[in-house]
Amino acid sequence: MARKKSYAQKEIKTNLAEVMPATFHDPMFIRTFKAVSAVSLHKGAGKDWPVTAAFPEGTKLVCEGNYRMVKNQIWLLVRSGSVYGYALRNEVQ
């Protein structure tokens, strides 16, 4: 029988210094977002960067307004507890 994957178990402690610096800041992104589906946080903006953590739908992610643009997509620099990373804007609300 297949075992259900637990996203919270794939968490790696990542401090802000280990993540690619943001290039933009917008006050409209200063808020707490919620994952609309399972979300992976990356060390940099884009799917090619290593994953720092993966969280299930409904996880709250705090953004301080910092982000990067990659291929016309917004990648928000967010945190959940002490874990930082980039989440695709379309994956949070």
pLDDT tens digits for the chain (93 residues)? 444 444 444 555 677 888 999 999 999 999 999 999 999 999 999 999 999 999 999 999 999 999 999 999 999 999 999 899 999 999 999
pLDDT confidence of residue 16? 83
Amino acid 35 reads: A
Which pTM value belongs to this model? 0.85
Per domain, the residue ranges of the chain are 22-91
Tell me the chain's radius of gyration from C-alpha atoms: 13
Give the list of residues 6+ apart from residue 59 with CB closer than 8 angstroms, or none: 34, 35, 39, 80
Fold of domain 22-91: SH3 type barrels. (2.30.30)
Give 34-91 as a DSSP string.
EBSS-EEEESSSSTTSPEEEEE-TT-EEEEEEEEEEETTEEEEEEEETTEEEEEEGGG
The pLDDT score that the predictor gives to residue 15 is: 76
Identity of the residue numbered 19:
V
